[in-house]
Amino acid sequence: AAEPVVPAKTKVKASGNGRYVQVGTYGQPANAQAAAQRILRAGLPARIGKVQRGGKSYQVVLAGPFANKASLGQGLRTSQAAGFGDAFIR
């Protein structure tokens, strides 16, 4: 899997009122799709958002939304176990 190409702290607007786990930011749409598929195979909901930075477009892969802190924490652990060791709650 590709490594994120933008610092993990990039601001992304997530839709809805839920809470998310950000698993990566990718410059290539195919890499974002592959990451989202890994999240889905791990049993989590996945979303792909878009962000502009320095005139370039990036795709941000999120797991979620999660309804509460317990499911959010489980989502983070599941994301990390799926190979996204740098995943974080946003």
CB 11 within 8 A of CB 90: no
DSSP string, 48-69: EEEEEETTEEEEEEEEEEESSH
Report whether 50 contacts 75 (CB < 8 A): no
Residue 2 has pLDDT above 70, yes or no: no
pLDDT at 18: 58
7: pLDDT confidence band, cut at 50, 70 and 90?
very low
Kindly report, residue by residue over 16-43, the tens digit of the pLDDT: 445 999 999 999 999 999 999 999 999 9
CA distance 14 to 58: 14
> Is the separation of the CB atoms in 27 and 58 below 8 Å?
yes
pTM: 0.78
Look at residue 58 in the predicted model and tell me its pLDDT.
96
